[in-house]
Amino acid sequence: MSVEMNLTRAQFDEVMVPNYAPAAVIPVRGAGSRVWDQEGNEFIDFAGGIAVNCLGHCHPALVSALKEQGEKLWHLSNVMTNEPALELATKLVNATFAERVYFANSGAEANEAALKLARRYALDNHGADKDQIIAFDKAFHGRTFFTVTVGGQAAYSDGFGPKPQSITHVPFNDIAALEAVISDKTCAIMLEPLQGEGGIINGDPEFLKAVRRLADKHDALVIFDEVQTGVGRTGELFAYMGTDIVPDILTSAKALGGGFPIAAMLTSAKIAAHLKIGTHGSTYGGNPLACAVGNAVMDVVNTKEVLDGVKHREQLFRDGLAAINAKYNVFSEVRGKGLLIGAVLNEQYEGRSRDFLVASVAEGLMSLMAGANVVRFAPSLVIPEADIAEGLLRFERAVAKVVAG
């Protein structure tokens, strides 16, 4: 006998670990770029589950793929392979530099696999002394202890005891700083081509070329964390495609499943060979449900229509934000690429990005922060232009309220 529950935000504090502080509203239904809460209030979604819902909510192709696979096969573990996994891996290989794919469930897991592979590759080829990983200030690579230590925000890794060693952080986009610390002991350089959590900071083209040049000089691998930038977010299938360099290892998650948990690590056959049988694994990684949805995502996103549409929508956002700023003068600049956009608050509103987020929710708009000084937008890649226009109107009302105090 089931008991009907009156589920409220207050119950979160009674039954959930307090590491999150969710908003008062509880969404219950979504369609495209619109979401409705328990009270029937409607929101336009400029957040996309933090760049996850790349095709919005309940996209027909994804719903169909999940339903169809749900009546065939759910789980096998990696004692056996399955057709959706083979199909998705083949699509990723055919569409990228990669020759081999490893599936996991989250960006942190994909990054953990990438870091372990880089260390193992260096150990096998060069010996135990080649273990240094270089990463960058303000980076974010996940919440496992290894990935959160490699991420360049100590506040996330402090307080859990001794950290993994041989990890060096330098300022992002600083070629001289990178040159000063890299050596033949470096096994990998890990970076986001466009920093997300760190404030929507684009990798400078000359800096990215220097990363590749210095890595090659010292026999180090380049790892691109494309958990947030991948699968169409920047207007390319993966952000590296819009640069002059190719990484050795690339990680993807978030948008790869359009809201269903899946992640992938992509690399060459030569490098992949060092994860021999038994060296790494994942119980759920590559399960048929997730891979079926991932196949549907790839089929929709990896098209000229959708990728070109991302670039067009970026301009609509930039034009709209410029018009709002001309009225209210709250932003110093708008950063980012494609539909990963950061509106940077000027000195007068420094540290108040959360105020803009809260005011937006009150106006029926879901947005994000990228630190205390940046309002972040990461909507569906196929968000209707009418929803962009309406969402920006709601955001303008939110800005007006913050400015008015």
E strand spans, 145-208: 167-170, 186-191, 194-195, 201-202
Determine the average pLDDT of the residues in 355-372: 96
Q: How many residues in total does the chain contain?
A: 405
pLDDT at 91 over 60: yes
Here the tokens at position 169 are 């952080």
Cα–Cα distance measured from residue 135 to residue 96, given in angstroms and rounded to the nearest whole number: 24
282 is in an annotated binding site: yes
Which listed residue (224, 254, 260, 317) is catalytic? 254
Pairing outcome for strands 132-136 and 186-191: parallel
**225 classed as catalytic:** yes
Which listed residue (43, 140, 317, 395) is catalytic? 140
Per-residue pLDDT, 1: 47
In the chain, % of residues over pLDDT 90? 92
| Cα 229–chain centre separation | 6
315 is in an annotated binding site: no
One fold for 47-51+304-404 and 61-301: no
30 is in an annotated binding site: no
| Contact predicate 63/32, CB 8 Å | no
Residue in the block written with tokens 């494309």: 226
The yes/no answer on whether domain 47-51+304-404 falls in CATH 3.90.1150.10 is: yes
**204 classed as catalytic:** no
| Domain boundaries defined on the chain | 47-51+304-404, 61-301
| Helix (H), strand (E) at residue 34 | strand 34-37
CATH topology (fold) of 61-301: Aspartate Aminotransferase; domain 2 (3.40.640)
pLDDT at 3 over 60: no
Query: pLDDT-derived band of residue 405, with 50, 70 and 90 as boundaries?
Result: confident
140 is in an annotated binding site: yes
Cα–Cα distance measured from residue 340 to residue 361, given in angstroms and rounded to the nearest whole number: 19
Determine the average pLDDT of the residues in 163-171: 95
**331 classed as catalytic:** no
283 is in an annotated binding site: yes
Per-residue pLDDT, 2: 55
